[in-house]
Amino acid sequence: MLGTILLVIHIAAGSVALTTALMALATAKGGVNHVRAGRVYAVAMALVCGAALPLAILGADALLSLIAVFSFYLVFAGWRFARNRSGRPQPVDWVAAAVMGLTGLGMWGYGAALFLQGNSQWVTMALFGTIAAALSAADVRFHRARRGSGKRRIARHLTNMLAGTIATVTAVVVVNVDTRPVWLAWTLPTIVITPLIVWWNVRVARGMGGR
């Protein structure tokens, strides 16, 4: 019964997160509609990850547990970059970045174990572990520089929120699309959407990120 309730919450919140993510992308950045959609998206993703973690534990699924922590950090960090305009990181920001870094190491370790077992999902863990470590390191550098205003803060906000959107899209693809090898469904959204994140960061850096 508990598993069923958590699954319903997970699916419903995921649907809301995907819808509001598209709304946030389609509206003017910093506008009322963008902010409202972003708030709903953040709450929905918190519910998604909050339900996914106990589901993963109940199913003894280490991969899903790591993905849940990974996804939650992306949205949490993105929300913090939107809210913290002062550029002065709080203890929670340092703790979150450290947890993300450790999660990346955990993904690499689990990926190595899967590789030794001949499980092709080691590719997923290697890719996500690298992304986790890279984003953690980037966020730490940002916090140390204490440059919380202007384009850099917007770029960090966009990067983390769009990466969180990748996690949502990945869940939809994994559930609905059967691929061979299995890791393709897990990594395809990252491969497709990551260039968009890079392009968007370039736009912001050039002062063209109005929408």
Domain ranges (residues) in the chain: 2-205
pLDDT at position 148 is: 56
Q: Residue 40 above 60 pLDDT?
A: yes
**What is the torsion angle, in degrees rounded to the nearest 10, for the CA atoms of residue 10, residue 15, residue 18 and residue 22?**
-160
**Predicted local distance difference test score (pLDDT) of residue 176:** 79
- Cβ atoms of 44 and 16 within 8 Å: the answer is yes
Residue with tokens 């869940």: 171
Taking only the tens place, the pLDDT of each residue in 68-100 is 778 888 888 888 888 877 778 889 989 989 988
- Residue of 53, 206, 172, 70 whose CA lies nearest to 125: 70
